[in-house]
Amino acid sequence: MANNKNGAATGGQVARYVGNQLTGRRDFPDGFVEGAYAQDGRGLCNWDSFVANMPGLSLSLSHIIYMVFYIYIYIYIYIYRHIELLLKLMIPAKITDGTNGSFSIDHYNRFKDDVKMMKKLGIDAYRFSIGWSRILPGGKLSGGVNRDGVKFYNDLIDLLLSEGIEPYVTLFHFDVPLSLEQDYGGFLSEQIIPDFVDYASVCFFEFGDRVKYWFTINESWTFAHHGYVSGGFPPGHGSTTTSVSQLSSSSLTRHRCPVGVDLTCHAGDPTTEPYIVGHNLILAHAAAVDVYRRLYQAVQGGKISIVNMSSWFEPHDPANPEDVAAAARAVDFMWGWFVAPIVTGDYPPTMREYVGDRLPTFSGEQKRLVQGSYDFIGMNYYTTYYATNDPDTTEPPGYAADQQVKFLYDRDGVPIGPQAGSSWLYIVPYGIRNLLTHTKTVYNDPIIYITENGVDEKNERKTLQDALKDDYRIQAHLDHFAQMKLAIDVDGVKLKGYFLWSLFDNYEWAEGYTVRFGMVYVDYVNGFTRYPKNSAIWYMNFLNKNLPVPKREVEEVEEVSSVKRKRSAKA
């Protein structure tokens, strides 16, 4: 674990890279990738069911007739599954603003214009995720390949490459096909591993001649924790206590399923399920990497890895050895949980010690597949917390209690950093350097890409002109860049690229549309129109492409209005 000398004490060094000193891409090594990440819309998956419940069932006759007609046209597998799903989709719940993300930001229909925007901004790499159920609607290869879905991604990849933008593709971003969730419990069952490998193989075959950077799974920790500890993600298993939810992006009131209403939800077992799900995520990743390396990599010439997410943790009392150990333990339980196995072939020793026989074990053959199943490390970083030892935790048995750590946002009443739009997100740039150097030191000095990093603001009522003013986001990115620069120059970290989250305002999972992470404003009310914020213009200049500054549509509208006024005056 990196100590404080890599944190606040580096202020003098950081200052050298801020302002006039850190001016653009040329401050980073040759070949350093700077891109953006956004998600495509989804097919029918676990989220379609999760975002809704069935309170009241007070539907009009027209609603009932509509649903019966819909079922008659689109029925598949079992009719009662769709009846339940359609009823639930009528009344979304569990999401902060009650939305269900049916259109997200309509990237599926707007991708050509979105790629033009990327080109204007000078972005040379774009990370996006493929929807499993868009390629295999039934989740399994035996159910057939959706050629329309394949065509969409082929068109997107070809367009990106024609504009000089390198695609970085994620295969799984939280969206288990609904049929697999219903058939055998999704990632709670090892049955999902061959199904995931089949899906990955279709993607390698269809797109691998042009895609040279693959990520099997995005944020295993988030999927396992939010789905099976805090209950904020589907299938909504786990606990509802305050500290369990502290690391979740959702509030307590949405974590649990309404008793007697949502028939697909149950509490699960937070003492075992997150570890089982995490284990199967790792095995699915390793199996997909094995297939890629055996059948595709030599011919296609690509690279493959996994994206893991972690906060950084500082001891609440640096002079207290127990707090120092607690902070290190927290890093192991979040970052090490999914990084240690692919590097060492096993979980961190601290997890073995504190979880015991509830933590699954890798067989000899599984260890052979898992260890070394990466060509680089994908790292998502957003924030840092203080950690204090908590051996007498009042948490119910499970992942949160196993760590024996309490997480805090402040020390002596002073916040660890400025708070962004989300309650969990405090802006702590030095944490990214500490996590980078920790990974270099503990996990064999790998090549690393920052695959997500960003800050949000609340989606509040503002004029469009005010909504485009996000200078705090510019400063936050500059401060993180400065820490990344120190990690490269001073610590010798092999950091090769950076993807900000996110290019566009987006549907932020359990938070719905209540927060905005994007550098491009999306008008959710008026047709999902895009408007570059100040940060987007800054990022274009930072990339130093010497491109003309793109006019923002709000400015174009003002120009048209001005011309009309002049014509009226002449008349």
Cα 352–Cα 176–Cα 399 angle in degrees, nearest 5: 25
Please report, to the nearest 10 degrees, the dihedral formed by the alpha carbons of residues 183, 187, 193, 196 taken in order: 80
Known active-site residue 555? no
Q: Which of 452, 457, 508, 511 is catalytic?
A: 452
Please report, to the nearest 10 degrees, the dihedral formed by the alpha carbons of residues 439, 477, 113, 168 taken in order: -10
Q: What is the DSSP letter of 334?
A: I
C-alpha span between 107 and 38 (Å, rounded): 9
CA distances from 431 to 54, 223, 416, 548 (A): 42, 22, 11, 35
Q: What is the DSSP letter of 52?
A: B
C-alpha span between 436 and 449 (Å, rounded): 10
Q: Are 453 and 381 in contact (CB under 8 A)?
A: yes
Find tokens 């500082």 and name the residue. Answer: 314
C-alpha span between 273 and 224 (Å, rounded): 8
- Sign of CA pseudo-dihedral 479, 223, 323, 351: negative
C-alpha span between 127 and 497 (Å, rounded): 12
Q: Is the peptide bond before 349 cis (omega within 30 degrees of 0)?
A: no
Per-position DSSP letters for 441-496, written without gaps between them: HHTT--EEEEEE----EE-----HHHHT--HHHHHHHHHHHHHHHHHHHTT--EEE
**Among 246, 285, 511, CA closest to 399:** 246
Please report, to the nearest 10 degrees, the dihedral formed by the alpha carbons of residues 450, 39, 99, 518 taken in order: 50
Give the length of the chain: 571
C-alpha span between 522 and 114 (Å, rounded): 11
**Among 487, 410, 502, CA closest to 455:** 502
DSSP-assigned beta bridge partners for residue 559: none
Find tokens 């719940």 and name the residue. Answer: 93
Known active-site residue 181? no
Tally of CA atoms within 13 A in the half-sphere of 174 that contains its CB? 25
Q: Which of 219, 457, 508, 511 is catalytic?
A: 219
Phi/psi-derived region of residue 504, left when phi > 0, alpha when psi is between -120 and 50, beta in every other case: beta
CA distances from 490 to 431, 437, 482, 486 (A): 15, 10, 12, 5
Sheet strand arrangement including 384-389: 312-315, 384-389, 405-408
CA distances from 163 to 72, 116, 368, 530, 553 (A): 43, 8, 40, 19, 22
118 burial (CB, 10 Å; 0-12 / 13-18 / 19+) is buried
> Which token pair is 287?
């199996």
- Which active-site residues does the annotation give? 219, 452
